[in-house]
Amino acid sequence: MPAKKVKSQKVTSDLVIFILGPTAVGKTSTAIDLAKKIDGEIISIDSRQIYRGLDVGTAKPTLRQQASVVHHLIDIFDVTENISAGAYRELALETVAEIQSRQNIPIFVGGSGLYINAVLKGIFDESTTDPKIRREIRRELNEKGIAALYNQLLEIDPDTALKIHINDIKRVTRALEIYRITGQPPSRHFQKQDRRSPFAYRIFILNADRDELYRRINDRVDQMLTDGLVAEVQKLIAAGYRGELEELRTLGYQEVLVYLDGNCSFEEMRENIKQNTRRYAKRQLTWFRNQYPSAVWIDVTKHSDPGAIVGLIQQNLISSTTQSPG
């Protein structure tokens, strides 16, 4: 069979594959098809799919999809738990070792930049903390809003700021806390760390031309609303998780909260989610280009058949030299 030929020539269990790309570009379906052909197991590298209860709004793989291929790091924490990039890295490396022990191939799938870099390049020790400074930052957040704090981070550490979404309260405030405690921006600490990858890997970034990507995003949002995004948020609120939703600042959920509070119409909410998702996708693409110049980009607009995209990835895995640790 062709799949066995591909694996025997190049794709070994020592290799780790990353399928990245902007939201709604088709990463999940591509990764599942690839995993079936090369004895792969999927590791979600999404900072929100790791939480239980955030299903529709994070486009989490369906139960059928999860049953078709082994998935990891999905639905393992409650939304009340604060998971750092460093903690995710530890879980991810343990999962890679577990998959490779079965002689299968780990396939990371997602688009959370901070988590991707944490896995590939490491992250500095986050043990440093100061309750007084944390309270000061929280007070500033309540008085000035997250945009003001994000602008502070842009001034002191633009490298870190570009890796964090403007509405990611936890990571923006944590970065400012590190700076105020140590007197150095987080990126400076990060540069001091051993940035060698712990394994050989290949990165594939799926993309589409702007019109096609925006069409997919709009369709994705419409489908989420049809699938019950509003009901999902209402259920989380009823369970007492509104505070966590506000702190997570997850795209889609925040716009629904505004709607449920009566501050916009249903159609306004729909358009706000679409517009904010398109902006987020643009930021993701910029970040990928800056961070991974050696990645293989695949334009899904030119390949309507999902099998053709998987075929391109397999061909590249056979013909290209893998990116080794270092």
In this prediction, residue 71 carries a pLDDT of: 98
In this prediction, residue 194 carries a pLDDT of: 59
List CB contacts of 59: < 8 A, sequence separation 6 or more: 23, 24, 28, 220, 224
- Tens of pLDDT, residue by residue over 62-108, are 999 999 999 999 999 999 887 878 889 999 999 999 999 999 999 99
Q: Could you tell me the pLDDT band of residue 192, with boundaries at 50, 70 and 90?
A: low
The answer on pLDDT for 3 being more than 90 is: no
Question: Where are the strands (E) in 39-135, listed by range?
Answer: 40-44, 71-72, 105-110
Question: Where are the strands (E) in 152-252, listed by range?
Answer: 200-207
Across the chain, how many H-helices and E-strands are there?
A: 16, 6
Which of 59-63, 154-158, 300-304 has the least mean pLDDT? 300-304
Of the chain, the percentage scoring pLDDT greater than 70 comes to 89
HSE toward the beta carbon, residue 253, CA cutoff 13 A: 27
Please tell me which residue, 157 or 326, carries the higher pLDDT value: 157
User: Mean pLDDT, the chain, as a whole number?
Assistant: 88
- 201 φ, ψ to 5°? -150, 165
Which of 5-19, 30-44, 203-217 has the least mean pLDDT? 5-19
In this prediction, residue 169 carries a pLDDT of: 85
Domains with residue ranges and CATH for the chain: 2-123+194-227+292-319 (3.40.50.300), 131-191 (1.10.20.140)
Structure tokens belonging to residue 182? 């140590």
**Measured distance CA(250)–CA(92) in Å, rounded:** 22
The answer on pLDDT for 238 being more than 70 is: yes
The structure tokens 């870190």 sit at 160
